Amino acid sequence: MDLTGKIVILTGVSKGIGLATAEALLAKGALVAGWGRTKPELTHERFQFFECDVRSEAAVQEALVNTQRELGAEIHGLVNNAGLGIAGEVDGFSSDDWHTMFDTNVHGTFYCTRAVLPQMKQQQLGHIVNIASIAGKTGIEKMAGYCATKFAVRGFSEAIFKEVRSHGIKVTCIYPGSVQTNFFDDIPGIEANSSMMQPHDIAGAILYAIETPFNFHVVDLELRPLQPKK
């Protein structure tokens, strides 16, 4: 897809992978609707921020209405990037933390995807990119809740791609390994470091998937650092 003038919704836009992806999309000529709870430090004539907590079905619907009013009816892309991870052993894990992760990582992805599909089906064109994690392919000790959410995103992505491909809509699920972002601030025993991948690396993979020709569909992308810190 040629991104020039195309409208792309990007959740979790305030920092890390989301901010890097916004910058990469803008560099390609896209109109970016950034959805999030915190406005990023990003000023560009083709970027517009819409306050949205993806955990709220009503907030997602309101953000879509506002986006279409301000930028136009067509929605060409959706990047479901909003997410968080909370570590802890299962037998001492907080139910509130469990629900917070599922509400954001899984329910938010569902709300946003469901919101854009009617317009994409009408267009017979669109691309949904779901940011999962390597934790959606393998279990990690003390990260059971986070793994459960990302396995859910994986299953959702695999099912929905088959559901909407006949409408000209692509669904790509991306599984990054460790990325040097603030994600690890609240993960005991792990510190973000330069041997991890960089946010712009993941943004580049997202662009690659979105810019493929119409009849070429990247379904899954697993991304890993080459030489992770031991």
38-53 pLDDT, tens digit per residue, is 999 999 999 999 999 9
pLDDT of residue 51: 97
CA-to-CA distance for 52 and 131, rounded, in angstroms? 18
Looking at residue 228, its pLDDT comes to 82
**Within a 13 Å sphere around the CA of 41, how many CA atoms are in the beta-carbon half?**
2
* Residue 105 CB contacts under 8 Å (≥ 6 apart), including other chains: 82, 83, 84, 146, 149, 150, 152, 153
Active-site annotation, residues: 146
Looking at 3.40.50.720, 3.40.1440.60, 3.40.50.1000, 3.20.20.140, the CATH number of the domain 69-223 comes to 3.40.50.720
pLDDT in tens, 76-128: 999 999 999 999 999 999 999 999 999 999 999 999 999 999 999 999 999 99
Give the distance, in angstroms, between the CA of residue 230 and the centroid of all CA atoms in the same chain.
Answer: 28
| pLDDT tens, residue by residue, 151-198 | 999 999 999 999 999 999 999 999 999 887 656 445 555 665 778 899
Provide CB contacts within 8 A for 75, sequence distance 6+. Answer: 7, 9, 64, 67, 68, 116, 119, 120, 123, 126
C-alpha count within 13 angstroms, C-beta hemisphere, residue 125: 15
Question: 76: Cβ–Cβ under 8 A, 6 or more apart, which residues?
Answer: 1, 3, 6, 7, 8, 123, 125, 126, 127
pLDDT at 192 (0 to 100): 58
User: What pLDDT does 194 receive?
Assistant: 77
Whole-angstrom distance, CA of residue 89 vs CA of residue 143:
7
> What is the pLDDT, as a whole number, of residue 181?
61
Round the CA-based radius of gyration of the chain to a whole number and report it: 17
User: Which CA distances in Å does 192 have to 14, 32, 107, 145, 152?
Assistant: 18, 28, 27, 21, 25
Q: Evaluate if residue 130 carries a pLDDT over 90.
A: yes
| H or E segment to which residue 64 belongs | helix 57-71
Rounded-to-integer distance, Cα 104 and Cα 56, Å:
9
Give pLDDT, residue 203.
Answer: 97
Give the pLDDT score at 186.
58
Provide the token pair at 140.
């990690």
Instruction: Summarize the chain as % helix, strand, coil (round to 5).
Output: 45, 15, 40
**pLDDT (average), residues 129-138:** 96
Domain boundaries, the chain: 69-223
